[in-house]
Every structure is written in C-alpha cells, then in structure tokens.
Amino acid sequence: MSRSAAAAIALAAFAATSAGRAAAAEWPLYDNRTWQQITVPAATGASCGNGTPFKFLFSRSVGDPTSDRVVIWMPGGGSTSIDRDGGLSSPIQSLAVLDDRLNAGAGSNTVPASGANLFLDHRANDGFIGDAQWVILPYCTQDFHSGNLTAPTTYDFTGSALANDVRRVLNGGRAGGDCGRAPTPDELRVQHHIAVLDVTGACPDATVTRLEVEIRHRGAINFEAAMPLVEQRLQAAGVDPDRMDLLLAGSSAGGFGAWYNAWRVGDSLYGRPGAGLTVVPMSGSPSDRYWDAGEGRLAFDADQLADMRHRLGQYATELPCAVAGGAYSPEEGDDCFDVTDLTSHYLDRWPGLDLSIAPVVNKEDNIGVGGFAGDPGQPGFGERLLTFCRTIHAYGDELATLPRVYPWIGWIWAQAPDRAPPRPPQRVHGFSRAGLLVPLSEPQVGPAHPAGDGMHGVLAYINSVAAGTASARLRPMIDRRLSLVWNLDDPASGQDPDFSGDWGGANPPEPACNVTPPDAGPKGRVSVERVVHHRRRGTATLVLGVPGPGRVRLGGEGVRARARAVHVRRPRFGVRPRGRLRRRIDRGRAVRVTVRVRYRAGDGAKSSLTERIRLTRRR
C-alpha cells in the first residue's frame, strides 16, 4: 500500500471503558430487537460484487416504536483496485474472504458481526442509538460504498494469495490432501462466482495458471436504490420525515462511505424544519496532506491526491462537490478530496440544517501505520511513524476549529491476554465492543459531560453528538497520551498509562507527536498557499490560507466573481477567466489575470490581497 493510500485510510480510529482490569464480559447486542432482511430489486441496478442480490437490514425501535431517530450503519471491509503502478490492491486473500466481501448475506455483513460495531446493549446508547430505528447497509462491493459502475471490473488474481488458496482447495486441503473430497475446477468456479479459472494437472498436483474475479462496484447505486425502501419502512413505523433525526455512521471503508454518501441523505433532509443529521465517519477519512516538519504544518502531497483520484476514478465515485443539491451548485475549481474540504462543503451545502460531524480517529491505526511507516524493523520507521502520528493529530486540531465539528482523536494500543496463545500489545483498527467504551486516557471534560455514564467513551460521545447535546456541553476530544487497553473484548478493561509503544527508540512519543499547526495566514491575514493549474481547461484553483471562519470575496478583471462563507483554513476558489481573456486562452495564448481577494473574519477584522496568475491552455 502506498503512503498516500495509507494516509487516506489512516484518519482512523479506536477509543474505548473505566479503569482497572476485570474478567472478560462482552457487552451483548440488544436481544429484544428483531431484524428484517430486505432484498433490493435487481431492476434498480443494485447488486453485490459477485452478482448476488443486494440486501439490507432493518430493525424497528422497541423502546419507542415511532421514534423519529434513525441510525444508518455502513460496515467496512477494505477495497479492491489497481494501483497507479499497475499492481493489484485487495484484501481478498482466500476463498472465504472472497465469499464474505462480495455477498450481502455473508458473515461480516450479518447482524452479529456488523452490530458489534455500534448496536451494543449498553447504557451509553440510552442517549440516542438505543431507541432509534436501525438500518445496516451491507458492504459487498469493495468500493468504499461509492461505486457507480454498472459493468463488472475484472481483476487478475493469478499468483496472489487467493490463487494459492484455490490451489490448496483443489488439491484436497492442507494436511496431505483428500482428493476424494476436492471439488473440480468448474465446481469451485461456479460455487465462488469466479470468472476465469484455468488449471493444469489434477489433485494432488493441480496448479492454477489463471484466476480472474469480476467485481461489480455498485456501492453508491446500492445506497440510492435502498433509500426508497428504507423510507417505506420508516413511514410504516410512523417516523415524521420533517422531524427525522438521522445518524449516518460507518467504520473503515464504511467511514469513507459515510463521507461519500452523506449528500444523498442530507439533500433529502435539507429544508425540513425539524430534521437533523449527524455524520460519524470512523476509521476512514480521505486526506491529501501530511505533516511537514520543516514547514511545521500540514503540507499538500500531489502523489497522495493523485492516488486518491486514481482509486475513486476506478469506481466512478461522485464527490459531493460535483453534484448540485441543498443550497449548492457546482462551479469549476470546487474540490473536496480532503477531509477538511469535505467538511467545509457539507457545512456550506446545507445552511440552516441541524448538522453535526464527528470524525473518529486513532493516531496509530494499524492499517495506516503499516502502509505509511512500513515494518518496525525497517530503517527510518520511527521517523515515518512520527510523521504519521503528527498528521493525525494536526488534522484533529484543524477539524476542531470548525463549527459543529467534533473530532474524537484516540491514541491506543490493545492486547488480548485471555486468548490462547496470549496476544502481545499491538496497534488496532476499527470498532467493536470495548473499543467503543474505553475512555481516552486524558478526557478533556469532567464526568458531568453528557455521556450517559460519565465514561468519555466513543459510544457515549457519538450518542451525545447525535442527541444534540454536543453544541452546548461537549467539546472535541483529542487524546495527547498513548495508552494500552488491556483487553478490547472486555468493557471493564483498563489502560496502562505507562505504555510507550514501539517507536524505534523514540520513546516516549507524546511530546513529539502532539503538534499544533500554526494559524493559516501571516499575522491573521488572508494569504495564498498555492495555485493549482488546470492547463487542459485554461483555469486554476486558488488555495487560500485564512485565520479562521469568515467570508471571502474573489474577483478581478475578466475573472468570475465569487463570494462565500468559509469554515476551513484552506478554502479553495476556482479562477476562470471570462470575455476577451477567455478567447485568448482558447486560441492558445497565455494570459495574466489579476485576482483580488477580500476576507472578513467573524469578528469583523478585514484583510485583502492581490495575486497575479499566468494562465494557459494545453491544446
């Protein structure tokens, strides 16, 4: 995995109960809830990755059957794509995983597996989730829930771990083989929805010479096709659409899914007088920057952005800034690949909507660390790990400055001492059971905060944000201390505050990781951070630096004037020449435009600048 792919996955999270060790006692799912499995008609275009029907799960509230509160949960499970260098990137390494990740009715998409991420029978859920109507949208398309492709994509798994597992099964298994029970290649191909399986020889000496799998990347199609059926169930339950309070959450690939599908539900809620939306992406948020120690700030990474564009392009993902909706109309130059740009876009898209966004992140997410920093035994691991940790921390600080945005930045390792053999401490990724309940090692609010039980755990935090208590009493939570959770399967597990991790000799890491990015803009003024040229169109994107929320006006001779409220510290504006300047560019001439930028802060302070930009068009 490239550093950029890792960093994108890396805005990931875990956090979780009270002090002290105790015997393992998993918190169960609610046992008084019933689930319906609803098949989405194939005529809508919905389909799982292997061509089987897409099905979602619905559970009506028991405590309050007509509750206007709704939870939509989007599970994770990695993604499959071809890297920019032509290599295959996929979590599918066995036939069991192949069946699981491309089928809505498989193990990781069933209620016990998915529900352990959010639907725990715990008093922390009394704040919102417990009495809500529940929906689980299974993940069976390997595209961050964002694919818009009707035709299947063919992936060559020849020579992969999956091919090795296929060879093992064809040769009768691991222990010497039982050829009498081994399937034929045709039987195995049909059973596991494999497109091409070429084999030479026979059991016990069969060899896989060609293995191709077709995956239908229809995650966004499935989301849109399921929504009318979800609405039917909610209406039957008595939910008032004008008062619906919706929590959209997901973990890992489901976290990306929450970012990329929030506009689909938010647009339908926008304009409804009593409606509200809370978006909680956990363990997965996109980024196009990393911490630059020389500059002392998050710095743009062109390779990171190129990797992200490449992967999303393979799925035909529709980013919200490319689609009209709410109070928003797309304009050239609008960009929303980075998590702060997505956040700003949603804040602008739905003015007046009761909206909260709560990204949940772990500073040492194991998937992100593995892709970004590599193996701990490699030279320079500690330095790369420090860059990764600083990147996550700096994003948390940046997001915390935005209105109605409540990042939860945890920093934990975990172990499972009760497993056989005992598992040593290790980094973690994703959410389940105690991972939602253990508090930060240094909670930044007192025990009276609206967590239901004063634990400060992620589950209580999510409920507080969703219930609307966040704006008055809850602040962003950023852990500045690395801790070890004794047992993520035990909600009564405690933390070891003296744990220092594996930083290649850079222990303890806390003082080095807890960076604070400087305010954008020199001395509180607006500044130009960079100019991104689009030479195929003869336009540019101006990336500004502003000290804080305010309003920006952009104009200039022959340049389209724009004005909007800004929430992030790096707002972007498209520069598109008009009139005679446009005509000169279209004839292949280079032009220089003068762009005037005026910024007015929330406290009324003003600043301005003038920027000369050379534009040309590649013909």
Beta strands in 153-244 (DSSP E): 153-156, 196-200, 207-215
The reply to whether 245 and 389 lie within a common domain is yes
Separation in Å, CA 408 to CA 22, 73, 97, 137, 297: 26, 18, 31, 24, 20
If one counts every other C-beta atom within 10 angstroms of the C-beta of residue 180, the result is 7
Q: Domain ends where: 459, 478, 513? A: 513
The reply to whether 182 and 273 lie within a common domain is no
> How many Cα atoms occupy the beta-carbon half-sphere of 121 within 13 Å?
12
The reply to whether 130 and 66 lie within a common domain is yes
Residue span of the structural domain in which 225 resides: 3-150+217-513
The reply to whether 314 and 459 lie within a common domain is yes
The reply to whether 108 and 163 lie within a common domain is no
The reply to whether 261 and 334 lie within a common domain is yes
pLDDT lower than 50: segments of the chain:
1-25, 445-453
CA distance 434 to 117: 10
CATH number of the domain encompassing residue 605 = 2.60.40.10
CA distance 594 to 542: 12
Domain total for the chain?
A: 3
The reply to whether 23 and 123 lie within a common domain is yes
Query: 211 has which bridge partners?
Result: 197
The reply to whether 85 and 180 lie within a common domain is no
Q: Domain ends where: 164, 182, 215? A: 215
User: Tokens in use for 593?
Assistant: 């435009």
Q: How many helices (H) and strands (E) does the chain have?
A: 15, 28
The reply to whether 241 and 342 lie within a common domain is yes
Q: Domain ends where: 215, 232, 264? A: 215
DSSP strand pairing (408-410 vs 477-478)? parallel
Phi, psi angles (nearest 5°) of residue 393: -60, -45
Query: In the prediction, which pLDDT does 453 show?
Result: 46
The reply to whether 399 and 471 lie within a common domain is yes
Cβ pair 155, 80 in contact under 8 A = yes
Query: In the prediction, which pLDDT does 447 show?
Result: 40
The reply to whether 204 and 324 lie within a common domain is no
Separation in Å, CA 570 to CA 141, 263, 304, 402: 33, 21, 17, 12
* Element at 459 (helix H, strand E): helix 458-466
Question: Which pTM was predicted?
Answer: 0.87
